[in-house]
Structure 1
């Protein structure tokens, strides 16, 4: 069995958790305009922008390289959790499992946190661990903060 793991980090945010959750849940099409240095395009392959189990294709830049990621979105409105399950794309060439879980929590009126959990399993032991992707995800969440506040 190939190596697997879980990375967890928290990103402090401003504003309301509801607003951040809505942007990540329903408004992925706004990401290229908001943070085009990270995300160059998001298209719906199957379903609707805001539907459970919608499949989307993301064009993004990680470590200076253009990449593509196809995922299926799972929604848990009660807990403000969105899960992107990796289906295809550059990262899936090295990983058998690549699940990204974003949970938005309002700790206090001025204290919001996005907890990012990445669950991964390599296809082979000689593939690198995906720590660069966790760094990328953390940067994407942090950079979206200002754009959510302006909305």
Structure 2
């Protein structure tokens, strides 16, 4: 029965920025993300810990599906060698619909040419069956990834 409430959603986006630069932006400078796509992400504040460290708590302000939203998350894991980060939601708008929500990304350099592929994974448990799977949120993050890439590669 519970399996209908749990889900996993994955998506890839090809970006021009290097995997290292993309990872560094989310790891050490997430408060700069709003500079890259201010119409989507208004800000990111550090609530506890330090930027770029596991166990730190950050709070995002963003606009998704036309609504201003908040997300408070703890950084569960950072793997600089694999350019991946795992975030667990602890408060905010998503927690009104989900019992648990984990977002992970991994940026991998492309085998040929410049740029990288960013693979996003959501693992979640909905509070009830009437809640939609978070496809629009995945599309949102794929779009934000492209905006960050454009910012990181401008002037190159």
Q: What TM-score do you get using the length of structure 2 for normalisation?
A: 0.91
What SS class does the counterpart of residue 92 from structure 1 fall into? Answer: helix
Equivalent of 1:24 in 13, 23, 26: 26
Equivalent of 1:38 in 36, 40, 45: 40
> Shift of residue 91 of structure 1?
0.8
| Counterpart check, 1:78 vs 2:81 | yes
What SS class does the counterpart of residue 75 from structure 1 fall into? Answer: strand
Q: What TM-score do you get using the length of structure 1 for normalisation?
A: 0.94
Long gaps (5+) in structure 2: none
Aligned residue pairs total 151
The CA RMSD measured in Å over matched residues stands at 1.4
| Counterpart check, 1:133 vs 2:114 | no
What SS class does the counterpart of residue 139 from structure 1 fall into? Answer: helix
| Counterpart check, 1:14 vs 2:16 | yes
For 2:87 and 2:154, the matched residues in 1 are separated by: 25
> Shift of residue 111 of structure 1?
4.1
Long gaps (5+) in structure 1: none
What SS class does the counterpart of residue 79 from structure 1 fall into? Answer: coil
- Runs (4 or more) in structure 1 with deviation over 4 Å come to none
